[in-house]
Amino acid sequence: RFNPNVTGFSLGDHIAEFCAGPLCPPFQYHPRHDRFNAAQSGAMAVNLMHELGYLVPRVKKSEDVDFEGAWKHLTLFIMSNDLCLSCTPLSPSPPTWLSPSAFSRTLESALLLIRSQIPRTLVTVLLGLNVSGVYDLTKDDPGCAALRHSGAVFECTCAFTLGSTPAGDALRAQMDAQAQLYNAAILELRTSFQPGGRNYDPTYGDTFAVVVEPGMAGVRVGAWPGDMLSGVDCFHPSGRAHAWMAAVMWNNLHLPFADKIRLHDPPARLNWTSTPPWTRGSRHGARRAGPAGDDDDSHPAGVSEVPLWCPTAESRVATT
């Protein structure tokens, strides 16, 4: 249910904060506006520690948060900018620092840091989408073409550099294959933090969980309406796209992993149910998923992905 007491969301506006791999200037954050929104334009997986370096102290120092006692919900959506630099025209493999194993190690380190530094936290990690589709969506748009040709925008070189050529198609296919490997790494990390996994620690058994949000993984970006991208750079999501993503996440929040929305193209509608889905099963009852996202039946159906101790006192259900 909606909780009007949730705090930490960003407010107002300011000049864009840019951070992209090694090009990540310090002192860009605007705490009065950013609050607990640590995301920065251009950020890649290797920048997660930089973002947490801002977020953790802000949460600890906040007078609006009971740091030890309050539940926190932290969302990670990282990958698109990694994909946009992952293509290598002369090799089928990305640079070592953008490999799936490097991505996995970096994300794992970030999750372990969150667990140790921010008590009572539910982390939602979004699966990435095939961002290469921005090429098909914008290639025939005169305004976007003018921006590209003028050099005013330069996002996602892998998707655009070689245009509508066989080589360009190959680079975009390489991006999509990389996205699937990154997503497989995310799914493996999800399992690793569950009971029996290598990262599971009973010390945090009732105060930390990693949930995977698959709603954007199968969207067909190239088939989106044109107003789903910002007119400023024809790459970043527009206000409408942000609203759609929020709707998908809300619809999926308490659904079992197997039942979460996939392959859902806009527009998405908010769904309201009279029976909270998190009352259906037991703690830590999420279905497991293999590297390709295929669910098995080793856990009972209808079990919420979110452990029952979260997110509100009203949602707690006696468990045995």
Instruction: Render pLDDT for 94-140 as a digit per residue (tens, 0 to 9).
Output: 788 899 999 999 999 999 999 999 999 999 999 999 999 999 999 99
Q: Bigger pLDDT: 3 or 241?
A: 241
Q: Bigger pLDDT: 77 or 306?
A: 77
Residue 291 has pLDDT above 80, yes or no: no
Please give the pLDDT value at position 271. 62
Instruction: Render pLDDT for 62-84 as a digit per residue (tens, 0 to 9).
Output: 999 999 999 999 999 999 999 99
Mean pLDDT of the chain: 82
The residues pairing with 210 across neighbouring beta strands, listed in sequence order, are 123
Q: Please give the order of strands across the beta sheet that includes 208-213.
A: 72-76, 121-126, 208-213
234 within 8 A of 142, measured Cβ to Cβ: no
Handedness of CA 10, 64, 248, 128 (dihedral sign): positive
Instruction: Render pLDDT for 158-193 as a digit per residue (tens, 0 to 9).
Output: 999 889 999 999 999 999 999 999 999 999 999 999
Distances (CA, A) of 83 to 129, 178, 269: 10, 7, 29
Q: Per-domain residue ranges for the chain?
A: 7-70, 71-310
Instruction: Render pLDDT for 204-244 as a digit per residue (tens, 0 to 9).
Output: 989 999 999 999 888 888 888 888 998 888 898 999 988 88
The HSE-up count of residue 317 (CA atoms within 13 Å, CB side) is 16
